[in-house]
Structure 1
Amino acid sequence: MASTTKKVSKKELVVLSSMIFGMFFGSGNLIFPVHLGQLAGSHWLSASLGFAVSGALFPLLAILAVVVTNSDGLYDLARPVGRKYAALFLVLVHLTIGPFFGTPRTAATAFEIGLKPFLPTQYLTVGLLLFTAVFFGLAYFLTLHQNKLITYVGKYLNSIFLVLLAVVFLIAFFKPMGALHQQPTTAYVSHALTNGVLQGYNTVDAVALLALSVTFVHAVKALGFKKDAARVTAKAGTLSVLLEVVIYFGLVLVGAMSLNHFELSDNGGVALAQIVRYYLSDFGGVFLGVLVTLGVFTTAMGLLVSFAQDFHKLFPKVSYKNWLRVTTVVSFVVANAGLDNIIQWSLPVLMLLYPLSLALILLSLTHKYFEKNQRVYQLTIALTAVPAVLDMLANAPKVVATQPVVANVLAAYHHYVPFAALGLGWVLPTLVGFGLGLVLYKFNPAPVHELQVEKH
C-alpha cells in the first residue's frame, strides 16, 4: 500500500498537470482566444491579459478554493451558506456544465469541426447520431473506473493533443502571417482589457473547476498522495494553468496576425479553421478535426466524472456508475436534439453562476479569517445574487429581456451600478457584502460552522 507521506516526483507532477489541463481545456479554450485576437487587433496584449484573468487566474483560484477548504465536493464547498443553497448550487452548476450544456457541447463541437465538413448534407443527422453515440460510449467506458483518469487523460490523450497544438504554434511563429498593427474593433479600442475579461467568461472554467477540482483531488489520492493531496493538487493545478496562459497568449497572437490574410470571422471556430488550412492546405481539415476532438473528449470525461461523483455524494443511494449512466445518456440526447436552444438559454444561466462562483471562491480562500462564519457567507452571496440575477436577465433571450418591467429595471441597473453596463455589476455588491459580513463578525465573532448550519 502506498505511503501517506509519499513525495511527488517531477514525472508524476507533469502527468498530474497534464490530466488537470486535459480535463478543463476544451474547444472553447481553443477558439475564443483566436477570435479575441481578431477582435482586439493591435490591442491584443491588453485583451490577452484580461482573458488570462478570467480564463486562467479565476480557474486557478477555484482549484485553490477546493484545496484550502479540504472540500469533498461542490456541496461541501457551498454548505456554509446553507444546506438548501448548497444543494441548489450544486445542481445548477452540474446541470449547466454537464448534461444540459457543457458535456453535449463537447461532442457537438467535435462533430461540427471534425466530421461535418466531410459529410454530404443528407447524412448529417445520421452522422451526428452515430458520432455522438461512439463519442459518449467511449467516454463512458473510460470513466467507469475513476482511478484510470490519470493514465487515459494525463499520459496519453492530452499528451497527443499538446503535441498537435505545438505543431500549429511552431508553424505559425516560424512563418507568421504578418505584423500586429491591425485596427481593433470598436469595443476594443478603449475597453480591450475589460472585454478580454468578459470573453474569458465563455470558457466557463471558473465555474467548471469548482466541480472538477474535487475529481483532481480524488485522482491525486488514488496515486498514493493521501496526506499531501491538497498540496500536490495545488502544485499540479498551478503548473497546468501556467501552461494554459502561454497557450492563450499564443492563440491570441495567431488570431491577431491572421487579420493580414482574412476578414474578421463570425467566431473562433471559423478563424481557427482558416488558419490551420492556410498552413496545412487540405490536410488542415483532418488535422483540426483530430486536434479539437481530442481537446473536447478529455473535457467530456472530466465533466462526466465530476457530475457522477458529486451527485453520488448528494444522493448516495444512487451509485456512481448509475449517475454516470444518467449524465452520459442525457448528454447524448441533448447533443442530438435542440442543442442550439440549449446554448441560447445557457448564457444567461452562466451569467448567474459566474458571480456566485467567484463569490464562493473569495469566501473559500479567506474562510480562516472568519472561521467559516455563516453570516459572512450569506451576506456575500445575497448581495452577489441580486446583480447576478439582473445580469442573467440582461443576457436572456429577447422574449424575456424586452419585457417592459425587465427592461426598465435593467436600464436603472446599468445606469446606477458601477461596471454593470460592462457585465461586471456584481463586483462592488460582492465586496460590500463581504465587507459587511466581516464587520458583523468582528462585533460578534462567535463562529457559525457549516456543521452547525446543518443542525438547524
Structure 2
Amino acid sequence: MELEQKERRLTWKNYLMIGSMLFGMFFGAGNLIFPLHLGQLAGNHWGLATIGFLLSGTLLPLLSIIAISITRSEGIYDVARPIGKHYALIFLILVHATLGPLFATPRTATVPFELGIAPHIPADQTSLYLAIYSAIFFLITYRLSSRQSRIIDVIGRLLNPLFLVLLAIIFLFAFLSPMGQASHATATTAYTHGALTNGFLQGYNTMDALAGLAFGVTVVTSIKLLGTHKPKNIALATAKSGALSMGIEALIYLALILIGATSLNQFKLSANGGIVFAQIANHYMGAVGDAILATLATVTCITTAMGLVTAFAQDFHKHFPKISYLAFLRFTCGISFLIANIGLTQIIAWSTPVLMFLYPLAITLIILAILSPLFKQSSFVYRVTTIFTLIPAIFDMIHALPPLLAQTAFARSMTAFATHYLPLFKLGFDWIPFAAVGFLIGIGGYTLRNISLNWHLNRQNLTDENDTDH
C-alpha cells in the first residue's frame, strides 16, 4: 500500500496519452464542419479569419486548461468559487447543461447523422433513422464511459488514432490534388472587411472554452489515476497536456480552413460545413469517401460525447455525492438522446443565444483565474468584473434569440437600446469594455483596501512601540 501512495513522475508517453484524451474530448464533428465553412465564408481572406478562429477556438480552450492549473482547481465550480458559492454552482449547472444534455452532447449524435446517414435515406424516414442512430450512439457512449479508469485508454489508444488515420486520408487527397488556389476564392461581404473578428466569433460555436473548464475534473482524475497526486505536479501535467492537444487542433483547423477556401473553386458557398465536407469527400473518393466521412464523424463525436457525459457525471457526483456517478451518466445520456431527436437545426438555433450569454462570462472568468496570483484571488475583483460583464452578456443573448422571440417588442427595444448605447455591440464585443472597466474598478478597490490595511497596521505598530517605550 505504501508503494501505491508514492508520487509517480509522469513520462512523455503519459503526457501524450493525456493530451490525446483531451484532444479526443475536445474535437467533435462541429470542430470539423465549422472551420471548413469558415474557409468558404472567408475565401481569399482565410488567413485573417484563421487567426481569429484560432484565438477563440484553440487559445481560449488552452487558457481555460491553464486556469485550472494555476488555481489548482478540479473543475468549473472551483474556478468560479471566488465569486461566491451560489454563483459557482449556478454557473456550473448552466455550463454543464449547455455542454451536456441540452445542446453540445445531443449535437454529437445529430451532426454525424446529418453528415453520413441523412443524405442516403428518404426524407420522410429521417426521424425514425435518427431515433435508431442516436439510441445506438448514446448506448455506446454510456458503455464506454461507465468505467472511469478506462476512459483515457479508450479515447487515447483506440478512437483517436482511428480518427486521425481517417482524417489523414482526406487531407492527403486534398493537398495532393487541390481544388484550386485559396487566393482566387471570393470572400463574402462580412469577411471582406471583418475576417478577423468574424473568425473569432465563429470559434464560439466549438464551445471549447466552456468545455476546457468542464473537462478539468476529468483531466485531474486521469492524472491522479496515473499516480500523480501533488497539486503542483497535477497543475504542470494539466498545462503540458493541454498545450499538446491544442497544438494538434490548431494544425488541423489550419488545414480545414484552407481546404474550405480552395473548395470554392469547385463548389458554391454551402449552407454549412457539413455539406461542404460531404462534397469534398465525395469529390475525391465517391461512395468510399461518403463511408469514410460517416465513420470519421461518428468516431470523433463518440470521443467528444464521452468527454462531455463523463465531465457532467463526475462534476455533479462530486457536488451531490448521494447520487452515483453512473446515475448521473444515465441521466445525461438519456436526456441527450431525447434532445438529439429534436434535430440539429433547432439545437443550433437555441444554443446560439446561450453561448452569447455564457462565453463573455467564461472568458472573463478564465482571464481572472490566470491573473488571480496578482490579486490573491480577491473575491472583490472577481465579483465586480463579473457584474459588469453580465450586463452586455444579457443584451447579446437577447440579440441572438431565434426569430420567433427576437421579433417581440421587448427584444427589439433591448436590441435598439444596445445598438445605440453599447460600444462594439454590432461586432459582438460589447462585453470587452465593460469587463475591462469592471476589472480596473476591482483592482483599484483591492489596491486601496491593501493600502488602507497597511496604513492601519503601520499605525498600530507605531502605537505599540510608543506604549512599550513608556
Alignment of 1:375 onto 2:377: no
Measure the CA separation in 2 of the matches of 1:317 and 1:183: 57
Percent identity of equivalent pairs = 48
Measured after TM superposition, the shift of residue 334 of structure 1 is 1.2
Which of these residues, 217, 223, 227, is aligned with residue 224 of structure 1?
227
Q: Which residue of 1 aligns with 2:89?
A: 87
Paired residue type of 2:227: G
Which of these residues, 89, 95, 98, is aligned with residue 96 of structure 1?
98
- Equivalence map 1:320-331=2 (5 Å): 320-331=325-336
Q: Which residue of 2 aligns with 1:149?
A: 151
3-state SS of the aligned residue for 2:270? Answer: coil
Measure the CA separation in 2 of the matches of 1:70 and 1:414: 40
Which of these residues, 183, 204, 208, is aligned with residue 207 of structure 2?
204
Would you say the 8 A contact 1:28–1:203 is kept in 2? yes
Which of these residues, 159, 166, 169, is aligned with residue 167 of structure 1?
169
Alignment of 1:246 onto 2:251: yes
- Equivalence map 1:9-408=2 (5 Å): 9-180=11-182, 181-227=184-230, 228-337=233-342, 340-408=345-413
Q: Comparing 389-398 with 3-12, which one deviates more in the overlay?
A: 3-12
Measured after TM superposition, the shift of residue 337 of structure 1 is 3.6
Would you say the 8 A contact 1:351–1:391 is kept in 2? yes
Change (3 A) 1:417 1:72: same
Measure the CA separation in 2 of the matches of 1:120 and 1:267: 21
Measure the CA separation in 1 of the matches of 2:363 and 2:14: 30
Measure the CA separation in 2 of the matches of 1:175 and 1:11: 35
Measure the CA separation in 1 of the matches of 2:247 and 2:412: 41
Paired residue type of 2:361: L
Measured after TM superposition, the shift of residue 96 of structure 1 is 0.9
Q: Comparing 96-105 with 121-130, which one deviates more in the overlay?
A: 121-130
3-state SS of the aligned residue for 2:238? Answer: helix
Paired residue type of 2:132: L
Would you say the 8 A contact 2:219–2:238 is kept in 1? yes
Would you say the 8 A contact 1:66–1:214 is kept in 2? no
Which one has the largest radius of gyration? Answer: 2
Would you say the 8 A contact 2:385–2:435 is kept in 1? yes
The C-alpha deviation readout for 1:225-265, integer Å capped at 9, x for no partner, is 22222111110110110111111110000001101110111
Measure the CA separation in 2 of the matches of 1:344 and 1:446: 50
Would you say the 8 A contact 1:415–1:421 is kept in 2? no
Measured after TM superposition, the shift of residue 122 of structure 1 is 4.7
Measured after TM superposition, the shift of residue 377 of structure 1 is 0.7
Measured after TM superposition, the shift of residue 17 of structure 1 is 1.1
Measure the CA separation in 2 of the matches of 1:300 and 1:446: 50
Measured after TM superposition, the shift of residue 404 of structure 1 is 3.1
Which of these residues, 418, 423, 440, is aligned with residue 423 of structure 2?
418
Task: Structure 1 unaligned segments of length 5 or more: list them.
Answer: 448-456
Measure the CA separation in 1 of the matches of 2:398 and 2:245: 34
Would you say the 8 A contact 2:110–2:343 is kept in 1? no
Would you say the 8 A contact 1:75–1:314 is kept in 2? no
Would you say the 8 A contact 1:380–1:430 is kept in 2? yes
Aligned length: 447
Measured after TM superposition, the shift of residue 207 of structure 1 is 1.1
Would you say the 8 A contact 1:212–1:306 is kept in 2? yes
Measured after TM superposition, the shift of residue 101 of structure 1 is 0.8
Measured after TM superposition, the shift of residue 159 of structure 1 is 1.1
Change (3 A) 1:4 1:41: farther
Task: Structure 2 unaligned segments of length 5 or more: list them.
Answer: 453-470
Would you say the 8 A contact 2:30–2:111 is kept in 1? no
Paired residue type of 1:192: A
Measure the CA separation in 1 of the matches of 2:42 and 2:75: 38
Paired residue type of 2:274: G
Q: What is the TM-score with the length of structure 1 in the denominator?
A: 0.95
3-state SS of the aligned residue for 2:23? Answer: helix
Measured after TM superposition, the shift of residue 2 of structure 1 is 4.8
Paired residue type of 1:285: D
